Amino acid sequence: MAQLWGGRFTKETDQLVYNFNASISFDKKFYKQDIAGSRAHVKMLAKQGILTEEERDAILQGLDGIERDVENGTLEITSEYEDIHSFVEANLIQRIGDAGKKLHTGRSRNDQVALDMKLYTRDELIAIDGELKELLSELLNLMEEHIGTYMPGFTHLQKAQPITLAHHIGAYFEMFKRDRGRLGDIYRRMNYCPLGSGALAGTTYPLDREYTAILLGFDGPTLNSMDSVSDRDYLIELLSALSIVRSLSGAGVGYLRGAALSTRGPGWTDRWCTGCHTNGMAG
């Protein structure tokens, strides 16, 4: 069992407790973020004179090797390790010796977990935002193409006013634009670096938190160490924002209703249609 705590313990952790406490089964997906955070931390430690340049270079080379071996499949992340942090550190020490033990200087698993989670979430948010941006571009192309395409507008499932297909698509364009705005708001609030907060009250090492924040692409360091290691607001915010990105399902339902209620106008190609069944009953 590889773990980073328990130095004063006199008995080995029971396997049942170890299994309950372990997070490697899900935080192994953070390996890239954990290694990225460690690279920035080590560069900062060397800049501050806490590590030598030789120690920095050895650790960076070891981290590069671990990441490369995980990605090419020659190094497996297994349940032997309690979490992704212990996996990286144990493999680093095995590869480069005592210099690897200095990786954890001036940081705690608490600020390390907070950093990994924030980096991973930021990467996912950026990816989702990119997909929404691409979707908005496609919708804009369709709007420009169908400025002169007329169709009935419906209210309460009844034909109400004539509109263009461009105007109809434009409604969804505005919805998705608001979705991107919400993601942008979350990004601006969350993009501050917790690394250097320690367990809860910082460290006596002369860390340069501004420097690590810059290396990791943050707008700056977080301002309160206790808040830094406990903040998960951005996760709840992102889940909330994603629950609102429902416009595609709304568009599908609206389009189906329109096609069913009208014999003219846009229709579904058979390539996009399926049969319908619910609880064994054909619909």
> So where are the chain's domains?
15-105, 111-265
Task: Please say if the pLDDT value at position 281 is more than 50.
Answer: no
Residue 194, number of CB atoms within 10 A of its CB: 28
CATH 3.90.1170.50 fits 111-265, yes or no: no
pLDDT, residue 252, reads 63
47-98 pLDDT, tens digit each: 999 999 999 999 999 999 999 999 999 999 999 999 999 999 999 999 999 9
Backbone angles phi, psi at 193, to 5 degrees: -90, 125
Band the pLDDT of 264: cuts 50, 70, 90.
low
The answer to whether 81 and 30 have CB atoms below 8 angstroms apart is no
Cα separations in angstroms, 220 against 82, 108, 236, 271: 30, 19, 22, 50
Residue type, 110: N
Contacts of 203 (CB under 8 A, 6+ apart): 106, 107, 196
Over the chain, what is the mean pLDDT?
89
Residue type, 14: D
CATH 3.40.50.261 fits 15-105, yes or no: no
More confident residue, 186 or 276: 186
The answer to whether 101 and 45 have CB atoms below 8 angstroms apart is no
pLDDT, residue 256, reads 57
pLDDT, residue 5, reads 47
Question: Can you tell me the mean pLDDT for 113-129?
Answer: 98
Question: Can you tell me the mean pLDDT for 142-167?
Answer: 94
More confident residue, 114 or 263: 114
Task: Please say if the pLDDT value at position 166 is more than 70.
Answer: yes
The sign of the CA dihedral 236, 184, 242, 254 is positive
177-225 pLDDT, tens digit each: 999 999 999 999 999 999 999 999 999 999 999 999 999 999 999 999 9
**In the block, residue with structure tokens 């490697």:** 24
